[in-house]
Structures are given as C-alpha cells and as structure tokens.
Copies of this chain bind each other. A is one copy, B any other.
Amino acid sequence: MALIVCKFGGTSVASPERLRNVAKRLVARKQEGNDVVAVVSAMGKTTDELMGLAAAVNSNPPTREMDRLLSTGEQVSMALLAMAIEARGYQAMSFTGRQAGIETDGTHAKAKIVKVHNERIMEAIDAGYIPVVAGFQGIDGNGDITTLGRGGSDTTAVAVAWGIGADICEIYSDVDGVYSADPRLCPHARKLDQISYDDMLEMAGAGSGVLQMRAVEFARKFNVVIHSRSAFSDAQGTFVKEECDMMEEAVITGIAHDTSEVKVTIRGVPDATGIAAKVFSALAGNMVNTDMIIQNVSEGGLTDISFTCPASDLPRAEETLARVVPEIHARELSIDESIAKVSLVGTGMKSAPGVAAKAFATLGENNINILAISTSPIRLSVVVEAGQAAEAVRLLHTAFGLDSDEIFEETQLSAEEIAAKLAKGR
C-alpha cells in the first residue's frame, strides 16, 4: 500500500485507445491497494497545433494569452482520462493546475513553481477518487493561468508527488528507463536499475532525453524518488534517488551524447585584456547559450576563440558576431555544424583519478580527434566529429566496463542508419 503519482506523456495519451490503456494501468495500480494520482500531458501533437493557430493570428502572440491557449491541451486529456477511468468503474476527478494548487510566479511561458497546495487532491484521495492532474500549468498570484515551459508536465508530477508526500513519482514514457548509453547507438548499453540525482542531472544536461532536467532538479531538492518506466510494458525501469544501493559505486554511470550543438571559431583575435569578455557578453546579451569555450595559446599576439552553442542559437550568434568581429579587429569567423558532444558521467569519478587520461587514450588509439574538452567534478565531455560520435560512445562504453552481456536486440544499426540518427534535425 503506497501513495503513487503516475505521469503519462503526450505519446501515451495520443488517442482514445491509448487513454483507455492508461486508465487500465492506473486502475491496476489502485487494485493493488495503492492510492494513485495521475498527471497528464496534452494529447500527441496538440501543443504544436495550438502554437500553429496562434502564429496564424499573431506573429508575436502575448505570452499571457499563449499560456491560456496552451493550457487547454492538458485540460482536454485530463477530462478524457478521468472519463476513461470512470468507464472502468472507478471514481476519478480531474484537476486543472489551479485546482491542483500549483502556484507559480508570474513568468508566463516558463513559470516557476512557488508553492503546492495539496488540500483538494488529498480530499479527493481520501474520498476514494483517482485524481487526474493537468500537467504543465499553474496559476500565478493574480489568478492568471501560467505554463511551466516545454516538458513541464514532468515537473508538475514531481511537484505534486512532493506536495502530497507520495512514496514515489512514476514517469511513464515510450522508453523503459535510463540506459548507460543510447541503445540505438550502443547495442551493449545496459538499463540502469538506479541512478543518483546528480548523475541523472549530468546525463540530462549532456543530451540524455529521458527525463526533464528541471524535474530531476526539483526531485533532488525535495528528495522525491522518480521511477522512469515504459508506458507500454510492466517491466521495472530506472529509479532516480539520492543514494544508490550498490555495494561499490561504478566510476562511470553512463555515457551521453548530444548532436544538437555547433562549434563557432573566431580566428585571429588580438590577445588583449577584455576581448573575451566583450565577445561573450555580447553573445549573452543576444540570448546565445554558450556551452564549451576554448581559447588557444597566443601566437604573435593573436589567438583563436572557439565555443559551442545549441544549433538553434546559431542565427543569433552569427548576427552578434557579424557586429563584434570587426569591432575587436579579429580576422574571421568559421562555423562547424558537424560536431557531437560525448560525455562520461559518474559521481564515482570524483574519487577515481585517471578517467580523462583513459578516455583520451581510448579515443586517440582509435584515431578519433578531440576538438574540445570540458569537465565538471562528475562529468567529462569531449567534442568530436559528428561522424565519429557513435564509435566514440561504443569505445568508451567498452573501455569503462559498462558493456552488458546482452545485446540490445532492437537496434543493430548500420553505419548509415547511425549517421542518419545523428543528423541534425533542423
């Protein structure tokens, strides 16, 4: 007997048939003797369709109205899921973000949760209902509808779990947990039984898309245990929690990769005080999120400055640098869009020297050139040519002893298929 929050994403509720399946799972959890609260995203592509309508009436829609528009998507799925549960003979009651007591600040489109008022949900649970909460939304102090930003439903689920003191927050999706590497690239990847918050945050930040980083941060802060699992099977997934129960901590938990960034290089930059500051404050001022920054040693008073940033920020970066490069009297700008970031993540890295040396040696022996490096206490990231990323992931996975004996069956991809998967989706 436990108190469980179950969150289902847009794919899991995309059709009446899938909604009925979700209702079946929730009722099964209830029948096992648990108290259950569901959190849902909007059906399938609803949010995209609503954004399309908005763009058709206003090229720059006011965020307050945008939030009111988008929040209807989750309100449709919450009501339908509640109906589907009632069709199975169990009592259900849907809750908007407002009714679920999700209080946020007033920053429309990316509101932050400031408080969770749990009274109405607790009353519904006590009365025997399965509450169904619309994810992604809340209200601000003025009573206006806000949304939490893309993927905010995971955050709603964790916030509700914390608010009602749930034993666990189950996040159902179309993957069955967190893997030591993307099994589509790395056939020997292992599903992790558990992972710490810190490792999960670094994995998410380094490109693993299973859980929203923000939801994991919230879970870490308030010590909410997450169970990431499949919406389409009963198999156990991956538990995300403070301390792992393993006898000996692995040095490396997993390897993430990210092909969504590009590398920008400014060549022939005069090596003078304040030049780098000028470049990066101009970029920040134009909303360019720079990730890694590399500055070569100076030769003849000139140096090269490189940085990586999300491909989606590239137009703004180019616009900014077209102005800044002449101002700082640098020679030229070059852009490399065919890069990938490969990251080793592991809390155990802190107490295990030699990780970087071993990683560099592994890649070097296999003629994989490292274009840039960045590190945190529990992460080592290298930038490589995009075409070598899959090989880099597999080599490092083997070198750090992560390989499973089983081969991930679904995905023995050819080199071409891997290249296609790694192609930037712009």
**In whole angstroms, what is the CA distance A223 to B408 when docked?**
74
Most buried by B among A76, A81, A84: A76
- Residues of A contacting B: mostly: helix
Q: Are A57 and B94 in contact (CB under 8 A)?
A: no
Q: Are B54 and A80 in contact (CB under 8 A)?
A: yes
A143 at interface, CB cutoff 8 A = yes
Interface residue ranges of A83-112 to B (CB < 8 Å): 83-84, 86-87, 92-94, 96, 99
**In whole angstroms, what is the CA distance A71 to B69 when docked?**
12
Min distance, Cβ A79 to any Cβ of chain B, angstroms: 4
Q: Are B57 and A16 in contact (CB under 8 A)?
A: yes
Q: Are A58 and B87 in contact (CB under 8 A)?
A: yes
**In whole angstroms, what is the CA distance A53 to B94 when docked?**
16
Chain B residues within 8 Å of A79, by CB: 54, 65-66, 68-69, 72
Known: A19-B57, A56-B16. A76 touches B83 (CB 8 A): no
Q: Mark contacts of A44-64 with chain B using CB atoms, 8 A cut-off: 1 yes-contact digit, 0 otherwise.
A: 000000100110111101101
State the number of copies, please: 2
Chain B residues within 8 Å of A92, by CB: 65
A20 at interface, CB cutoff 8 A = yes
Min distance, Cβ A254 to any Cβ of chain B, angstroms: 38
Residue of B at shortest CB range from A16? B56
**In whole angstroms, what is the CA distance A57 to B19 when docked?**
7
Q: Are B80 and A69 in contact (CB under 8 A)?
A: yes
Query: A57-B83, A57-B84 given. 13 additional CB < 8 A pairs?
Result: A16-B53, A16-B57, A19-B57, A58-B84, A62-B83, A65-B83, A65-B92, A66-B79, A68-B78, A68-B94, A69-B79, A69-B80, A72-B72
Point out residues on A near B: beta carbons under 8 Å. 16, 19-20, 23, 50, 53-54, 56-59, 61-62, 64-66, 68-69, 71-72, 75-76, 78-84, 86-87, 92-94, 96, 99, 143
Provide 24 A-B residue pairs closer than 8 Å at the C-beta atoms, listed in order of the A residue: A16-B53, A16-B57, A20-B57, A53-B80, A54-B79, A54-B83, A58-B83, A58-B86, A59-B87, A62-B82, A62-B86, A64-B93, A65-B79, A65-B83, A65-B86, A65-B92, A65-B94, A66-B83, A68-B79, A68-B96, A69-B75, A69-B76, A69-B83, A72-B75
